[in-house]
Amino acid sequence: MSALVAITQRVDIVPGRNERRDSLDQRWHPFLAACGATALPLPNHPPTALALVETLAPGAIVLSGGNDLAALGGDAPERDATEDALLAWARARAVPVLGVCRGLQFLAHRFGAELVRVGDHVGTPHPVTGPGAERTVNSFHTWAVRTPPAGFAAVARAGDGTIEMMRHEHEPITAVMWHPEREATAVGEDVALVRRILGRDT
């Protein structure tokens, strides 16, 4: 039986149509299916997003990539507000959270870490190192974290010392800077990570 995973969406602004659209990379669906999960895209409207997770009780929440944080000059404050509400909902119920790229940035910022600009992490695969995390990953970000926020431990780092994976020391919150959904074939380590988060690694 497939687990339900709620996932946040990026905001795309379409000036010619006076629209702000929620969107999700289609590759998330086959990736999560490979993990034994079904994606539930959430709108960037806190009351509706909360009503959906409260009613459907997903097994985890994914904070997906896309959009800079408003605090860093981003133009999608409704997304920040939605993810703030979802994070509070998940923490109150011990529902696992996985941050991906912007998701790691969001979590780092919300827990008090400083984000710094990086100039060589877009479209540049690179190795990451850490206990049990030796691998090469993709890279599509311009903001990064060097020091984990209070309560988190850095699990893997890039060669320049920026954090590529971090995990909360007491709560079920994990975050990675790479995009597992963007690989042509789901990578075994990423599938195993999501399955562990869902409690499906047995």
Give the pLDDT score at 121: 72
Tokens found for residue 80: 């920040």
DSSP string covering 124-164: --EEEESTT--EEE--B-SEEESSPPTTEEEEEEETTS-EE
Rounded Cα distance, 173 and 167, in Å: 6
Tell me, yes or no, if 101 is annotated catalytic.
yes
Domain boundaries in the chain? 3-197
Looking at the domain 3-197, which fold is it? Answer: Rossmann fold (3.40.50)
pLDDT at residue 132, rounded to an integer: 65
Taking the chain (202 residues) in runs of 10, the rounded mean pLDDT of each run is 90 96 98 96 98 97 96 96 98 97 97 90 84 82 93 94 96 96 93 89 57
CA distances from 71 to 67, 114, 121, 141, 164 (A): 11, 11, 20, 16, 21
Q: How many C-beta neighbours within 10 Å does residue 90 have? A: 21
Query: Which residues make Cβ contacts (< 8 Å) with residue 26, sequence separation at least 6?
Result: none
Closest CA to 178 of 192, 167, 163, 199: 163
Q: How many CB atoms lie within 10 A of CB 118?
A: 18
Q: How many CB atoms lie within 10 A of CB 54?
A: 10
Q: Please confirm, yes or no, whether 179 is among the known catalytic residues.
A: yes
pTM equals 0.94
Cα(5)–Cα(24) distance, rounded to whole angstroms? Answer: 14
Exactly one of 83, 101, 141, 168 is catalytic; which is it?
Answer: 101
pLDDT score at 198: 87
Per annotation, catalytic residue among 109, 141, 168, 179: 179
